[in-house]
Homo-oligomer: A and B are copies of this chain.
Amino acid sequence: MNNEPMMHFSNESDPTEALRAAFRRHASGVAVITTTDTDGNPVGFTATSMTSLGANPPLSTFNVARGASSWPAISAASYVAIHTLGARNLALAQRMAADHTLRFTPDDWSTGPKGVPILHEATAVLIGRVREIHFVESNAIVVVDILEGLLGEPDDSLLYSQRAYYTPGNKLE
C-alpha cells in the first residue's frame, strides 16, 4: 500500500472546497458565547470553535467572524460567558445561530458574575476575561482567561455536524 499512498484519496485542489469537505467529516461540540453590548443589552452566538487552551492557567479560545452581529460587542467586551450545551439546549443553539434580534427571551437568562448574561439551562458556564484578540483576515481569535464557573444539570453533550445537531452515540473501545 505504501507504494501507492494516494490511492486512498481523491485530490481537492480548491482550498475552500477542501476545507468544507473536510469539515463535513468532522463533528464539533456546541457552545454559546454571551456578553453585553455597550448599551447593556445581552448579545450572544452559537460557536462550534470553542476549545480549551490549557488548564494551568485555565484558558479558552473561540473564533468569530468580524462581520458577525455579535462582533461589535465581543470586540469591546471585558468579560464573556462561555456556555456548554446539552441535548436539552437544541432550541437554544438554533436560536443563538438565527436572527440576532430574537436570541434572548425574557425568562431564560439572568445577569451573572462580571455582569455577563447567563443562560439558565446550559450544562455549564465559564466566566472569563477577554485576554487578547488576534485578527486573521476577516476573522478574530478570542483568548479568554477563565475566572470561575457555574455547573448546571449534566446532559448529553450537544454536537454539530453536517448542518445538524447530534448527541454522542456509541462509546468506542
Where the two chains meet, the residues of A that have a C-beta atom closer than 8 Å to any C-beta of B are 1-2, 5-6, 8-23, 25-29, 31, 48-61, 63, 65, 82, 84, 86-87, 90, 106-107, 109-112, 118, 120-121, 123-126, 131-132, 134, 136-139, 141, 143, 145-155, 157-159, 161, 164-173
Contacts and interface: CB of A to CB of B under 8 A. Distances in A.
A21 B149 contact: yes
A168 B172 contact: no
A153 B168 CA distance: 21
A26 B107 CA distance: 24
15 contacts: A6-B150, A10-B150, A15-B146, A18-B150, A18-B151, A19-B60, A21-B124, A21-B149, A22-B149, A26-B124, A61-B61, A131-B136, A134-B141, A157-B161, A166-B168
Nearest to A67: B54
Given A18-B58, A53-B141, A141-B53, A25 B154 contact: yes
A52 B51 contact: no
Contacts of A21: 124, 149, 151
A61 to B, nearest CB: 6
Contacts of A172: 87, 90, 158, 164-167
A145 B26 CA distance: 18
Contacts of A52: 19, 23, 49, 63
Given A154-B25, A168-B166, A5 B86 contact: no
B110 A2 contact: yes
Nearest to A58: B19
A168 B161 contact: yes
